[in-house]
Amino acid sequence: MRTREPEYHLGGFEELVLLAIIRLQKDAYGVKIRQLLEEEVRRTVSLGSVYTTLDRLEHKGYVSSFLGEATAERGGKAKRFFEVEGGGAEALSQVMNARNRLITGIESDLLPSFT
């Protein structure tokens, strides 16, 4: 009998935000996350939806945040930076593994071209 892994729930936009945080590493804050998503996903992304998703991911324990130094360019306000935590990495891993298992069962000529 196969043992079930703990379930981690992750929506599509949550997945994209987690991937953006991982890619941006030490530079992962709201505006940069939004810019990266708009460039790579090629659609308009509102800053509000990014922050709502970041708050939800933090509530789930998938990311943590901390305030950086206050900067003159932001009128003395500090940036809020994000890091992916273990639960977020596990959730992302489960989603990517499930996607790969599903793709494996599809004949290559039925898959859309990704070029």
CATH code of the domain containing 65: 1.10.10.10
> Which residue range forms the structural domain that includes residue 80?
12-103
Residue 115 is assigned to a structural domain of this protein: no
Is the confidence at residue 55, as pLDDT, over 80?
yes
Output the pLDDT for position 19: 97
The alpha carbon of 27 is separated from its chain's Cα centroid by a whole number of angstroms, namely: 14
**Residue range 87-110, pLDDT digits in tens:** 999 999 999 998 888 888 777 766
Residue 114 is assigned to a structural domain of this protein: no
Tokens (6 digits) for 98: 């499930």
Structural domain total, the chain: 1
Residue 44 is assigned to a structural domain of this protein: yes
**H helices of the chain, where?**
12-24, 30-41, 47-60, 86-104
Is the confidence at residue 59, as pLDDT, over 90?
yes
Average pLDDT score over residue span 68-95: 88
Is the confidence at residue 49, as pLDDT, over 90?
yes
Instruction: Compare 31 and 107 and report the one with higher pLDDT.
Output: 31
CA gap 12, 102 in Å, rounded: 16
